[in-house]
Structure 1
């Protein structure tokens, strides 16, 4: 007897009648196989039903008839006829089938009961995780439990191929809606030129890597973009493993209030600064911009906190500052650890359907080139970052390498060196360091010591 039979309420976890109706329907009409909608042998509760279903599917797939006699002979040749009750049981199943017309509904019942059994199994496994002594932390157990529940959604689900004509309908509807509404498909960064280069901004499910050498302003850029996004009414979570939350708040006040950060930190504000500070406090107070400055977060920490934040407050964009400061994982080599983090963040972006922006460091190789501009191979610690990312943006400030050139004061570039769904480009920006703020660059591009700064558009499409 199956363990489920030990419980009086267990009948709700399977339906022998529905399973028999599916088998009988297939024995009477082999063409009904097209109406099973992903039903598999594993969805049947009874072992003999799984065997019969598999044999029917095997015969039909081989373009051979599958009726009571042919299925019995096939099972007999494999030594399984007695296992399923022989010819008598096959004949009874076929004769007692109500109708082949409703086989899709019978199959749905079988799949539904399989899902209930899987849910009960997952519940037992979760209880075992909680009650069995182990070295696992509570957060790790919760994450495993969430994974078990997430896997339930895959039971009985099978994606079927669709004709392109059918797939075009929702795409055209989206294009038409965007055309008439004028709303871009992505989440606006608040910088129009950057949005244009990214096909409307940041896109759900994407992993965006923002990288640069130290002091280039990558944290300032991502924080600035996060504030812009939150100011537009969206929810942003910043995992800051490098800076304390008080430092992030001070930068945000300087950014929003147009106040010099040094004056703010030293408490040396001018009379004209106080109204701007008051406005900044009011502006930031209305934002859904959250900061978590826990140091050396593990991938599990990032995932667990992001999921909890989305449940409680909603979550549109997650910023992780930065990959190199994350910890944990089973990999021994640092390059493998970083690769595991980038893969995990990409999976999290898809799972939560949000853009995840992660910061990364660059090696010194770019400093050996005449133009000092970084390339993808400069990403530090792991080539997996380049592979996992949908978008890679390098923050580059030529004035750091040519400080005596007054034309370069404040000039910065967002170098888009990977753009899975668009062209590569160099986006010129104005960096107001005292305010830790990036803005549109206006006017002619400055001259660099090695030649003019050329704004490149449409270098290539990385598809």
Structure 2
């Protein structure tokens, strides 16, 4: 049985009644209106499924019993679904005994309601459209509930949330509705997956260098990883003073520089940008660090104003060049996962997004409204959320992480995976885990003191040995790639210039 051409439009009009009066609606009057519902569409769909169970296949991937506005219709749909999922026939004859036993139809008039459903049936071809009408009404009702909650919270129903937290909670509720609405996801054919894999391989083949993804600005790192890849979560960890932020800033700046250069070669504006969420340092401090690195004027002298005219002119010239970089800094302290997700999505929509850097994940808060039972669970929610952002926006996400103090108790202070704070969830969710380590930092703390030696000769011998060891590790750092899901691991030597807090490539062949 097929429907007249205007049947679907008629049902949509029932779901979304219009008001032809010119009187503007107040919020109170809007909330008192009947929520969007389409009982006729629900009855027609149920009748179609009972007539031909193949109609269920048209809606089963997105329609749930809770989406029905009439609870009786929802319970009928649930009972039908249960029987079909077991591989059994669900028609008026087989379902009648179950309905009578459970009393589902009692409130609707008993078996007479079953006959009404059969009379309201639509053809299997139209079942998917009717299911989407029902689902759309459910989404609208959810939006009304979210809006009502926003209004109530704004009036003070949630005294534990300030205005900023209420915004984040509202954004989180809308995001959950947008992602959990049941229409996204599902299977993709192997043919489609193979086409995507072949396209990635073709891009790598056509490039002249070793980089497939976005460059990090670190030659040996790019060789080992192929660059920064979309949807990857990379953890960069280290003890304090190792240079985590400096290294992450170097990678972020190099990526932004590559995006700008690529756009200028094509005579276009950059189609992507780099987002840095700096939870520990202010945007001004981070900008000063980048300026110091690029202008080669020490940051401590910049802060003190201890620079001459030549240095200041170079400082200003470099700052003008850097203003064109597609680099965005958000220094909101203790930002929540939901707020970060919303801002990333907004930046991706307006400017394009190619890389996200988070400094650092232990300072983040989980989504507004969630109350994890433990710190480990909280970190797990954060790392899972960061991985979800990487996948949703198809961008690499670099998250900095602290290491536990147990590193300091070992003779060899090179970090290991077990040194990650709340390591289980971080290690599991990350596509790559890397540690920044500087032997020079620890060796510097072990400088011999004359008071510890019996004679001057022994002290001088120890001091000379210390100087020799310091010379071997001077301006050197290690990036230890401890885990890489898609490639080899290993240690990558880096150059570190402490005066400008700057990392770079280390050419060991010409030392």
Q: TM-score, normalised by structure 1?
A: 0.80
Superposed, which structure 2 residues align to 1:37-186 within 5 Å? 37-38=60-61, 39-133=63-157, 134-153=159-178, 154-157=180-183, 159-162=185-188, 164-180=190-206, 184-186=211-213
Task: Give me the whole-angstrom Cα distance separating, in 1, the residues matched to 2:378 and 2:52.
Answer: 54
Deviation at 1:320? 3.3
205 and 442 in structure 1: CA distance in 2 versus 1, 3 angstrom threshold: same
The Cα of 1:249 is off from its aligned counterpart by 3.1
Aligned-residue CA RMSD in angstroms?
A: 3.6
The Cα offsets for residues 431-457 of structure 1, whole Å up to 9 and x where unpaired, read as 1222322221113498xxxxxxxxxxx
TM-fit CA distance, 1:141: 0.7
Give the stretch that moved more between structures: 293-302 or 77-86: 293-302
3-state SS in 2 of match to 1:394: strand
The answer to whether the aligner puts 1:395 opposite 2:421 as a matched pair is no
Q: Structure 2: any 5+ residue segments left out of the alignment?
A: 1-13, 20-32, 261-271, 445-466
Distance in 2 between residues matched to 1:224 and 1:370, nearest whole Å: 30
- Give how far 1:118 is off: 1.9
Choose from 445, 453, 476 the match for 1:411. 476
Residues in 2 aligned to 1:250 and 1:90: alpha-carbon distance in whole angstroms: 73
1:441: which partner in 2?
506
Aligned to 1:285: 323
State the distance in 1 between where 2:316 and 2:56 align.
69
Q: Supply the distance in 2 between the matched residues of 1:213 and 1:304 (Cα, whole angstroms).
A: 30
Structure 1 position 15 matched with structure 2 position 38: yes
1: distance between equivalents of 2:337 and 2:123? 52
Q: CA-to-partner distance for each residue in 1:147-189, whole Å, 9 max, x for gaps?
A: 2111222224364445534533333334334434669553321
Paired residues of 2:44 and 2:122 also in contact (CA < 8 A): yes
For the residue of structure 2 that corresponds to 1:13, the secondary structure is coil
Contact 1:323 1:359 in 2 (8 A): yes
Give the superposition deviation at 1:269. 5.0
Shift of 1:377: 1.7
Gaps of 5+ in 1: 447-463
- Distance (Å, rounded) in 1 between the aligned partners of 2:18 and 2:311: 74
Contact 2:256 2:327 in 1 (8 A): yes
CA shift for structure 1 position 303: 5.8
Alpha-carbon distance in structure 2 between the residues aligned to 1:194 and 1:434: 23
Find the counterpart in structure 1 of residue 227 from structure 2: 200
User: In the alignment, does 2:236 pair up with 1:226?
Assistant: no
- Looking at structure 2, the residues matched to 247 and 166 of structure 1 have their Cα atoms a distance apart, in angstroms, of 46
Distance in 2 between residues matched to 1:320 and 1:158, nearest whole Å: 27
- Whole-angstrom CA distance in 1 between matches of 2:441 and 2:182: 57
CA–CA distance in structure 2, aligned partners of residues 265 and 254 of structure 1: 10
* 1:322 equivalenced with 2:352 (yes/no): no
When structure 1 is superposed on structure 2, of 330-339 and 242-251 the one drifting more is: 330-339
- DSSP 3-state at the match of 1:434: coil
Distance verdict in 2 for CA 1:326–1:32, change over 3 Å: closer
Whether contact under 8 Å (1:263, 1:269) holds in the other structure is yes
Deviations 1:205-263 (A, max 9, x none): 44332222332222221122222122233533434454454443332222112344455
Counting only pairs closer than 5 Å after superposition, residues 346-425 of structure 1 correspond to structure 2 as 346-350=387-391, 353-367=394-408, 369=410, 371-380=412-421, 383-402=424-443, 404=467, 405=469, 406-425=471-490
Deviation at 1:336, TM superposition (A): 6.2
**2:288 aligned partner:** 250
SS at match of 2:217: coil
Q: 1:298 to 1:105 in 2, by over 3 A?
A: closer
Moved more, 16-25 or 59-68: 59-68
CA positional deviation for 1:282: 2.2
- TM-score of the superposition, structure 2-length normalised? 0.74
CA apart distance, 1:425: 1.7
SS in 2 for 1:374: coil
Deviations 1:373-397 (A, max 9, x none): 2111222466543344332221112
Q: Deviations over 1:405-438 (max 9, x none)?
A: 3232212111011223332121111112223222
1:432 equivalent among 473, 497, 500: 497
Paired with 2:186 and 2:336, the residues of 1 have a C-alpha distance of: 37
1:68 and 1:87 in contact (8 A); partners too = no
